[in-house]
C-alpha cells in the first residue's frame, strides 16, 4: 500500500512567539512561501468558521479570479437555481456563497491596488501564513518591493468570533519601511459574488444574491443587505473600519463608495511616514433572516456592530472561548509532532463547522464544512462519523444537530408515502427543506461529459440517523430526548425499512431490493444499472439493528404511559412484533468462503485486476469514472469505492455483530470476519476519505502497522489533499472527526451499550500515551491511556455513579473517583 505524501510535506509548523516551543508547533500550521497553484487548497485549509458561518482563508485584497476564491457561507443557508444543461432544465440547491466581508485593499500614492499576484519572485521579499488552531486566528505577513523600489511590510490577523458567532474581525497593518507618502485603503463588503468554486458545475447558473440595501451607517461603517433568489433569505453584513497611523486614529480623507450591483466600501487616504504602521481595524457583524429573536437581519447586524468593542477586546473573548472548547476537545498525543498537529487541525475544523454558541441553528452537518462548495454544501450520512466526536464531549450539541433531521421528518414521511412506503425516507443529500437534492447527473472529468447518478438510492442514510439518535441516548441516558425527538426518528426510520422488506414464504426470509449500499460503485446489476441491488448486507443488518432499537424505544415509551409520545407515535397493536419478525428473518447473503456478501449476486460479478488499473492510471479511487470513460461499468466487477459490508464492523463491535446475526439465524465465526475484512480490503479502491477511517479502525486489532498507515492517511486527508485536488472545494469533515475518534474511541476501545461504558484498550506501538476528556452520563472523565495503564479521573460533582467495564472487569465510578487499570 502506497503511503500518502508525508504529513505536511508542503507545509511547515513553527512555534508561535507567545508559546513555549514544543507545544506551539503542534498548534500552528504555517506556510512560508506563496504558491498560486496551491492557493485554493490553502484557502480551504485556512478557512475560519464558528458554526454559524465560515470564510475561506483567502487573501483580503483578492477576488475570485481562478487563483483565489474568497467564499463565505452561512450554516443552513441554501438557495435553488434552475439552469439549462444541454436541453434539460435542472434545479440545483446550493449552500449560498454570501457577500464577501474580507476586502481590505490598499495602494501607495495613487498607484495600482496592491496585488500579491502582480509581484515577481524578486519583489516578494518575505512571506508567511499561519493558521493558529489553538486560538482560531489566521495570520499573514509579507514584505515586498514595488516597481519604484519602495519596501512595504504588511501583516494581517483575522478571526470569526467563537464568543459571538455573528462577529468577525480583521486587523491589517501596513508599514512603509523606507518611504513616506499617501496611502489609500479601501475596506468594504462585496455582494457581487456567485457560486463558482467547483469547475464541474460550470454549466449552471450560479448567482443567488440580489442586493437589497447598500448604506453608509456612519462615517466609518457600511451595511450591505442581499436576498437569495428562491429561498428569499436576507443576509446582512455590516462593517466598521478604523484607520490609525501609529497610535492615533485618524479622521482621514474619506469617501463612501456604493455599487448598485452589490458592493459598498469606504476609502481612506492617510499620509504615511517611514517606519510608522498604518493600522486598519475592520469589525464585521452579520445576520440572516433565519436568525431568531431579532427584528430583521439588517437591524441586528447594525445594532451588533454599534455595540461591538475593539479588535483587541473581541480577540480576548474569542481566545477564551477557544480555550474552553479545547479544555473539552483537545487530544494530547505522546510523542507529539506532526500527528499531534494533524489531530489538532482536524478537531479544529470539525469544531469550527459545528460549534456555535447558539447550536440550534437548524443546519445539519455539511460533508465539506463551511469551507467550500463541493457537493453544494449538502448533508449526507457523514454525521455517523461525526456524532461520536461530539456526543462524547459536548453532548448537548447532538440533539441540536439531530433536530435538523427531526424538523425534516415531514418531508421524509411525504417522500416515503410517494414511494409507496410507510415511515420516513430520509434523502441521500439533504439541504434546506429536507427533500432529496441529490443531483441526478455526475460530471466525469475524464470524458468531460455527464453520466447518470443514482446515488439517491442510498436509502441507508436514515439508518445512520436512527443509529446516531440511539447512540446519543446510550451515552447520555437522556430520557427526554428518547421520548420525543429520539423516538420520532427511530420509529419513523424503523417503519420505513420494515415497509421496504418483502417476505418470501418459500425461504421464510425478508429481502430489501432496489437500494444502494454505502459503496457507490454498485448502483445496480450489470444488466440493470441504476435499479439498485438486492439484500445489501449493510442495509439489511443495520435495518435489523434499528428495528431492535425501535422495539427497545417502544418499551421505554410503554414504561412512561403518561407521556404523550406513546399516543403521538400511534404504535399499532402488533407493530413491534412485526418489527421483531422482520429483524429476525432479514436475508444476509454469504460468499462461498464464508465472508459476508456485499449483496445478493456480488460473488457472481467478475473479478478485476486493480493493479493493472493502478499501473495505467495511478490513483484509481474513482475507478467508476475510469471505467465509464472506457465504456465499461463498475457494476460488472467485485470492486468497491469504500467500505460497505465492513461498515458493520465499524459501527458495531464484532461481538455485537455476531450476536445480532445469531438472532437473525446466521453464524459469523471469527474466521468469517477475517475473510470479510480481507476480501473487501483487497477489492477496495479507497475512493472516499471515509475508507481510511474505517480500515484503520478494522485493522487496529488485527494488523496494527497497517492500521497506523490508514490512520496517517486519515489524518492527512486534507493536509496532504490525498485525493489530489478535492480539498480546495472544502475539507472532509467526517474523515477529520473520524481521525480524532480513531485515536480516542478506537484505541481506548470505547463502547456505550447496556448502560455501561466499555474500555478495551489497544494502542499502536508508535504512541506512548494519549490523554483526552469525555462525558458519559453526566460524568466528566479525563482519560489517560499508556501502553501499560488506563487511568480514569472523574470530576467532582453530583453526577450519579456510572458502570465501567475495562477488559471485562466491571467497576462503579463515582464523581471525584480516580481509577487506574493495569493493562
Annotated binding-site ranges for substrate: 381-382, 641-642
Q: Which of 281, 520, 709, 751 is catalytic?
A: 520
Binding mask 712-751 for ligand BGC (x = CB under 6 A): ----------------------x-----------------
Instruction: Return the range that interacts with ligand BGC (CB under 6 A); candidates 162-170, 355-363, 379-387, 408-416.
Output: 379-387
Instruction: Return the range that interacts with ligand BGC (CB under 6 A); candidates 28-36, 377-385, 601-609, 796-804.
Output: 377-385
What 8-state DSSP symbol labels residue 55?
E
The DSSP secondary structure of 261-322, one letter per residue, reads TTEEEEEEEEEE-TTPPEEEEEEEEEEETT-SS-S-HHHHHHHHHHH---HHHHHHHHHHHH
C-alpha distances out from residue 322 to 45, 180, 346, 356, 400, Å: 18, 40, 15, 11, 20
Residues from 586 through 625 that contact ligand BGC (CB under 6 A): none
Q: For the chain, what is the total number of helices (H) and then of strands (E)?
A: 22, 32
- Candidate list 52, 380, 697, 776; residue touching ligand BGC; CB under 6 A: 380
CA distance 215 to 201: 33
Please check whether residue 76 is in contact with residue 363, taking contact to mean a CB–CB distance below 8 angstroms.
yes
- Shortest distance, CB of residue 518 to ligand BGC, whole angstroms? 6
For residue 23, the Cα-to-chain-centroid distance in whole angstroms is: 26
Based on CB atoms, which residue is closest to ligand BGC, 302 or 642?
A: 642
Q: At 55, phi and psi to the nearest 5?
A: -135, 135
Residues from 312 through 331 that contact ligand BGC (CB under 6 A): none
Based on CB atoms, which residue is closest to ligand BGC, 69 or 380?
A: 380
The binding site consists of 381-382, 641-642
- Shortest distance, CB of residue 685 to ligand BGC, whole angstroms? 11
CA distance 98 to 103: 13
Strand order in the sheet with 789-794: 332-334, 769-776, 779-786, 789-794, 818-822
- Candidate list 30, 501, 608, 690; residue touching ligand BGC; CB under 6 A: 690
Query: 554: which 3 cell numbers?
Result: 417502544
* Interface with ligand BGC: number of residues (CB under 6 A): 12
Instruction: Return the range that interacts with ligand BGC (CB under 6 A); candidates 223-231, 240-248, 380-388, 438-446.
Output: 380-388
Residues from 507 through 546 that contact ligand BGC (CB under 6 A): 518, 520
Instruction: Report the candidate in 329, 136, 373, 166 with the shortest Cα–Cα distance to residue 736.
Output: 329
Query: 649: which 3 cell numbers?
Result: 464492523
Whether the CA torsion 49, 242, 301, 303 is positive or negative: it is: positive
Q: At 751, phi and psi to the nearest 5?
A: -140, 150
Based on CB atoms, which residue is closest to ligand BGC, 298 or 734?
A: 734
Based on CB atoms, which residue is closest to ligand BGC, 379 or 802?
A: 379
The question of whether 520 is a catalytic residue gets the answer yes
Please check whether residue 734 is in contact with residue 379, taking contact to mean a CB–CB distance below 8 angstroms.
no
- Shortest distance, CB of residue 377 to ligand BGC, whole angstroms? 11
CA distance 268 to 256: 9
- Candidate list 476, 688, 696, 723; residue touching ligand BGC; CB under 6 A: 688
- Shortest distance, CB of residue 138 to ligand BGC, whole angstroms? 25
- Shortest distance, CB of residue 691 to ligand BGC, whole angstroms? 9
Residue 684 binds to ligand BGC (criterion: CB under 6 A): no
Residues from 275 through 314 that contact ligand BGC (CB under 6 A): none
Binding mask 346-375 for ligand BGC (x = CB under 6 A): ---------------------x-------x
Based on CB atoms, which residue is closest to ligand BGC, 359 or 367?
A: 367
Q: At 637, phi and psi to the nearest 5?
A: -120, 160
- Shortest distance, CB of residue 375 to ligand BGC, whole angstroms? 6
Instruction: Report the candidate in 762, 767, 745, 759 with the shortest Cα–Cα distance to residue 699.
Output: 762
Query: 282: which 3 cell numbers?
Result: 475592520
- Candidate list 129, 642, 685, 716; residue touching ligand BGC; CB under 6 A: 642
| Residue bearing cell 441516548 | 473
The DSSP secondary structure of 193-239, one letter per residue, reads ----S-GGGTTS----EEEEEEEEEETTEEEEEEEETTT--EEEEEE
> 21: how many CB neighbours lie within 10 A of its CB?
10
- Candidate list 381, 389, 426, 599; residue touching ligand BGC; CB under 6 A: 381
Based on CB atoms, which residue is closest to ligand BGC, 258 or 455?
A: 455
Based on CB atoms, which residue is closest to ligand BGC, 103 or 518?
A: 518
Beta bridge partners of 107: 184
- Shortest distance, CB of residue 650 to ligand BGC, whole angstroms? 12
- Shortest distance, CB of residue 520 to ligand BGC, whole angstroms? 5
State the catalytic residues: 520
Residues in contact with ligand BGC by the rule CB under 6 A:
367, 375, 380-382, 518, 520, 641-642, 688, 690, 734
Amino acid at each position: 500500500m502506497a503511503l500518502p505524501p508525508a504529513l505536511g510535506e508542503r507545509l511547515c509548523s513553527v512555534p508561535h512567539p507567545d508559546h513555549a516551543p514544543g507545544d506551539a508547533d503542534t498548534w500552528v500550521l504555517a506556510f512560508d512561501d506563496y504558491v498560486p497553484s496551491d492557493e485554493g487548497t490553502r484557502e480551504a485549509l485556512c478557512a475560519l468558521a464558528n458554526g454559524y458561518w465560515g470564510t475561506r482563508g483567502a487573501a483580503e485584497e483578492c477576488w475570485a479570479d481562478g487563483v483565489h476564491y474568497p467564499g463565505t457561507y452561512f450554516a443552513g443557508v441554501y438557495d435553488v437555481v434552475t439552469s439549462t444543461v444541454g436541453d434539460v432544465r435542472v434545479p440545483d440547491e446550493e449552500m449560498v456563497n454570501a457577500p464577501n466581508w474580507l476586502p481590505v485593499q490598499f495602494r501607495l500614492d495613487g498607484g495600482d491596488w496592491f496585488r500579491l499576484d502582480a509581484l515577481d519572485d524578486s519583489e516578494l521579499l518575505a512571506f508567511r501564513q499561519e493558521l493558529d488552531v489553538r486560538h482560531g486566528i489566521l495570520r499573514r505577513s509579507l514584505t515586498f518591493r514595488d516597481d519604484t523600489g519602495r519596501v512595504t511590510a504588511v501583516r494581517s490577523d483575522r478571526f470569526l468570533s467563537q464568543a459571538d458567532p455573528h462577529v468577525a474581525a480583521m486587523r491589517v497593518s501596513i508599514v512603509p519601511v523606507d518611504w513616506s507618502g499617501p496611502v489609500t485603503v479601501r475596506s468594504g463588503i462585496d455582494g457581487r459574488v456567485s457560486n463558482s468554486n467547483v469547475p464541474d458545475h460550470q454549466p449552471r447558473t450560479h448567482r443567488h444574491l440580489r442586493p437589497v440595501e447598500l448604506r453608509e451607517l456612519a462615517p466609518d461603517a457600511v451595511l450591505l443587505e442581499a436576498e437569495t433568489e428562491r429561498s428569499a433569505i436576507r443576509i446582512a453584513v455590516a462593517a466598521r473600519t478604523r484607520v490609525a497611523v501609529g497610535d492615533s486614529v485618524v479622521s482621514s480623507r474619506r469617501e463612501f463608495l456604493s455599487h448598485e450591483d452589490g458592493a459598498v466600501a469606504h476609502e481612506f487616504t492617510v499620509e504615511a511616514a517611514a517606519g510608522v504602521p498604518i493600522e486598519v481595524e475592520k469589525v464585521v457583524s452579520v445576520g440572516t433572516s433565519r436568525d431568531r429573536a431579532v427584528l430583521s437581519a439588517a437591524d441586528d447586524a447594525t445594532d451588533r456592530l454599534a455595540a461591538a468593542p475593539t479588535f483587541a477586546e473581541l480577540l480576548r473573548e474569542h481566545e477564551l472561548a477557544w480555550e474552553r472548547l479545547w479544555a473539552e476537545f483537545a487530544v494530547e498525543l505522546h510523542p507529539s509532532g506532526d500527528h499531534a498537529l494533524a489531530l489538532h487541525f482536524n478537531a479544529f475544523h470539525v469544531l469550527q463547522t459545528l460549534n456555535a454558541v447558539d447550536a440550534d441553528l437548524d443546519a445539519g452537518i455539511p460533508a465539506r464544512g463551511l469551507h467550500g462548495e463541493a457537493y453544494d454544501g449538502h448533508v449526507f450520512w457523514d454525521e455517523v462519523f461525526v456524532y461520536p466526536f461530539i456526543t462524547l464531549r459536548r453532548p448537548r450539541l447532538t440533539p441540536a444537530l439531530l433536530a435538523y433531521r427531526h424538523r425534516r421528518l415531514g418531508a421524509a414521511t411525504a417522500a416515503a408515502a410517494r414511494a409507496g412506503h410507510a415511515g420516513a425516507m430520509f434523502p441521500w443529500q439533504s439541504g434546506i427543506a429536507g427533500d432529496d437534492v441529490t443531483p441526478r447527473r455526475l460530471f466525469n472529468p475524464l470524458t468531460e461529459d455527464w453520466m447518470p447518478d443514482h446515488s439517491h438510492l442510498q436509502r441507508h442514510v436514515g439508518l445512520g440517523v436512527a443509529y446516531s439518535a440511539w447512540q446519543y441516548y446510550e451515552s447520555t441516558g437522556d430520557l427526554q430526548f428518547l421520548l420525543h425527538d429520539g423516538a420520532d426518528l427511530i420509529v419513523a426510520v424503523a417503519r420505513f425499512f420494515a415497509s421496504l422488506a418483502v417476505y418470501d414464504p418459500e425461504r421464510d426470509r425478508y429481502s430489501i431490493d432496489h437500494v444502494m449500499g454505502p459503496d457507490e460503485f454498485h448502483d445496480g446489476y450489470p444488466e440493470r444499472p441504476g435499479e439498485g441491488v438486492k439484500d445489501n448486507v449493510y442495509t439489511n443488518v443495520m435495518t435489523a439493528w434499528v428495528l431492535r432499537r425501535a422495539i427497545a424505544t417502544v418499551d421505554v415509551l410503554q414504561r412512561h404511559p403518561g407521556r404523550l409520545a406513546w399516543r403521538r407515535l400511534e404504535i399499532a397493536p402488533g407493530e413491534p412484533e412485526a418489527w421483531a419478525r422482520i429483524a429476525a428473518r432479514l436475508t444476509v447473503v454469504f460468499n462461498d468462503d464464508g465472508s459476508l456478501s456485499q449483496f445478493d449476486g456480488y460473488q457472481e460479478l467478475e473479478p478485476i485486476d486493480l493493479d493493472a488499473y493502478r499501473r495505467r492510471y495511478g490513483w484509481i479511487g474513482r475507478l467508476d469514472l475510469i471505467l465509464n470513460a472506457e465504456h465499461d461499468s463498475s457494476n460488472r466487477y467485485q470492486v468497491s469505492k469504500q467500505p460497505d459490508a465492513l461498515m458493520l464492523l465499524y459501527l458495531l463491535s464484532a461481538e455485537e455483530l455476531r450476536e445480532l446475526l445469531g438472532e437473525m439465524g446466521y453464524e459469523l465465526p471469527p474466521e468469517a470476519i477475517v475473510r470479510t475484512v480481507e476480501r473487501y480490503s483487497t477489492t477496495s479502491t479507497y475512493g472516499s476519505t471515509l475508507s481510511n477511517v474505517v480500515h484503520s479502525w478494522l485493522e487496529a486489532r488485527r494488523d496494527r502497522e497497517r492500521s497506523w498507515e490508514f490512520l496517517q492517511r486519515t489524518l492527512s486527508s486534507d493536509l496532504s489533499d490525498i485525493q489530489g485536488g478535492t480539498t480546495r472545494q472544502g475539507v472532509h469533515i467526517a474523515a477529520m472527526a473520524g481521525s480524532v475518534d480513531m485515536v480516542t474511541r478506537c484505541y481506548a476501545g470505547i463502547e456505550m451499550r447496556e448502560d455501561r461504558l466499555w474500555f478495551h484498550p489497544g494502542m499502536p506501538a508508535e504512541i506512548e500515551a494519549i490523554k483526552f476528556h469525555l462525558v458519559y452520563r453526566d460524568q466528566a472523565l479525563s482519560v489517560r491511556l499508556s501502553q501499560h495503564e488506563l487511568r480514569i479521573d472523574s470530576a467532582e460533582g453530583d453526577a450519579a455513579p456510572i458502570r465501567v467495564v475495562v477488559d471485562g472487569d466491571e467497576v462503579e465510578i463515582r464523581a471525584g473517583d480516580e481509577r487506574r487499570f493495569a493493562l
